[in-house]
Amino acid sequence: MKNSQNLKSWLKDYNLNHPMVIAGPCSAETEAQMLDAAFQLKDSDTSIFRAGIWKPRTRPGNFEGVGAIGLKWLQTVKQETGLQTTTEVANANHVELALEHDVDVLWIGARTTVNPFMVQELANALAGVDIPVLVKNPVNPDLALWLGAVERLYNSNIRKLGVIHRGFSSYEKSKYRNKPEWQIPIELQNQFPDLPLFVDPSHIGGRRDLILELCQKALDLNYDGMMIETHPTPDQAWSDAEQQVTPDRLKEILKSLVVRDPQIEGVKYINELEKLRTKIDGFDDTLLRVLGERMTTVEDIGRLKKSQNVAVLQNARWHEILKKMVDLGEKENLSAEFVTKIFQAIHQESINHQEQIMNQK
């Protein structure tokens, strides 16, 4: 796959003067729920109606989707509202059924993108099919795996391609359900500027109050569109209730978003600046998280020292660390003076933490 191919051209078929909007419930639940959502979305900027028919759930015992009957409801939505439709496919059988039911766009879910066997099965089943296929990022932060899935489809002659950024799972707690790790889609954009990029703020945020800010951020980074879970009665949803919005709220969100024309010179500058700032924010976040973890370990050492009645300050160890870090810093183009200052500050903070532990009764 080359970065010069005109992979964005299929977006022009939609003739939009705004980013593309894909909206609809997390899961198809009943025909009435689907039609209710779709009729409310019909007069919004939504072009494509989404609904999950087969739901990949992390643990068994949750609602796993209505199955093929939902495809009939998607057909009805299309007939009655004129909206295009999309659903998630995870194996060759899903592809066959979805195509039989005239689904217009398919997406591959995050739990499928991680598995090259499944992606290859899908690529084979889709060979030569002329509808757009969108690939969600894998659950783990691995750009090569994400691009690998896109390449498997490309090698099956699928040319209407796009990617959906839905965030990455992590063991640490964060305000997001799936951490955005913006630097990954930014790197993807750098490598393949022509690959349509969508944001899925619903699965990144996991909370409906984060959707607007996530969409705005994506637009500031020049994304091509968004997929937003929208349900007539979100709190009663059978899956992902906390992150879904009502169609009215979706319309408000779309109205509040600021869309800038990427052709304008000043906007290019804002875009570029936003990308670089996002990278910096990611680094700062990592720096502080790692420092926090380091301090937790320092405290463990403090407790160990206390149990053996050993002094907090151990000069030989400290000088050894400092020397190692100054050498490493040199390789990273960081001056000895700067590295020394940073490590003196870290060391002082560590001593403070350990002394607190020593002095605890």
Stretches 109-117, 243-251, 324-332, 333-341: which one binds ligand PEP (CB under 6 A)? 109-117
Q: Which of residues 220-239 bind ligand PEP (CB under 6 A)?
A: none
Between 139 and 298, CB nearer to ligand PEP: 139
Torsion, Cα 140 142 145 146, to 10 degrees, reads 90
Q: Cα(225)–Cα(211) distance, rounded to whole angstroms?
A: 13
Q: Which of 177, 240, 247, 329 lies at the binding interface for Mn ion (CB under 5 A)?
A: 240
CB under 5 to 8 A by kind: which of ligand PEP, Mn ion, none does 166 bind? ligand PEP
Does residue number 203 form part of the binding site for ligand PEP (CB under 6 A)?
Answer: yes
Burial class of residue 130 in the structure, from the number of CB atoms within 10 Å of its CB (0-12 exposed, 13-18 middle, 19+ buried): exposed
Stretches 40-48, 106-114, 120-128, 348-356: which one binds ligand PEP (CB under 6 A)? 106-114
Token couple for 215: 């969409």
Token couple for 286: 């990592």
Does residue number 26 form part of the binding site for Mn ion (CB under 5 A)?
Answer: yes
Q: Which of residues 146-185 bind ligand PEP (CB under 6 A)?
A: 166
Helix (H) or strand (E) holding 197: strand 197-199
Q: Cα(344)–Cα(168) distance, rounded to whole angstroms?
A: 35
Q: Write down the least CB distance from residue 205 to ligand PEP, Å.
A: 12
Does residue number 193 form part of the binding site for ligand PEP (CB under 6 A)?
Answer: no
Stretches 105-113, 117-125, 248-256, 303-311: which one binds ligand PEP (CB under 6 A)? 105-113
Between 175 and 317, CB nearer to ligand PEP: 175
Q: Which residues contact 334 (CB under 8 A, 6 or more apart)?
A: none
Between 204 and 339, CB nearer to ligand PEP: 204
Does residue number 109 form part of the binding site for ligand PEP (CB under 6 A)?
Answer: yes
The phi-psi region of residue 157 (left if phi > 0; otherwise alpha if psi is between -120 and 50; otherwise beta) is left
Handedness of CA 153, 122, 190, 333 (dihedral sign): negative
Q: Cα(217)–Cα(57) distance, rounded to whole angstroms?
A: 28
Q: Cα(53)–Cα(37) distance, rounded to whole angstroms?
A: 15
Q: Write down the least CB distance from residue 33 to ligand PEP, Å.
A: 15
Between 101 and 136, CB nearer to ligand PEP: 136
Does residue number 136 form part of the binding site for ligand PEP (CB under 6 A)?
Answer: yes
Q: What angle do CA 69, 159, 194 make, to 5 degrees?
A: 115
Between 220 and 240, CB nearer to Mn ion: 240
Determine contact, residues 359/308, Cβ cutoff 8 Å.
Answer: no
Q: How far is CA 302 from the centre of its chain?
A: 39
Q: Write down the least CB distance from residue 237 to Mn ion, Å.
A: 9
CB under 5 to 8 A by kind: which of ligand PEP, Mn ion, none does 110 bind? ligand PEP
In eight-state DSSP terms, residue 299 is H
Does residue number 56 form part of the binding site for ligand PEP (CB under 6 A)?
Answer: yes
Helix (H) or strand (E) holding 106: strand 105-108
Between 167 and 329, CB nearer to ligand PEP: 167
Q: Which of 19, 52, 132, 329 lies at the binding interface for ligand PEP (CB under 6 A)?
A: 52
Length of the chain: 361
Which of 90, 92, 48, 95 shows the shortest CA–CA distance to 71? 95
CB under 5 to 8 A by kind: which of ligand PEP, Mn ion, none does 298 bind? none
Between 220 and 229, CB nearer to Mn ion: 229
Between 162 and 201, CB nearer to Mn ion: 201
What residues make contact with Mn ion under the rule CB under 5 A? 26, 240
What residues make contact with ligand PEP under the rule CB under 6 A? 26, 52, 56, 109-111, 136, 166, 203
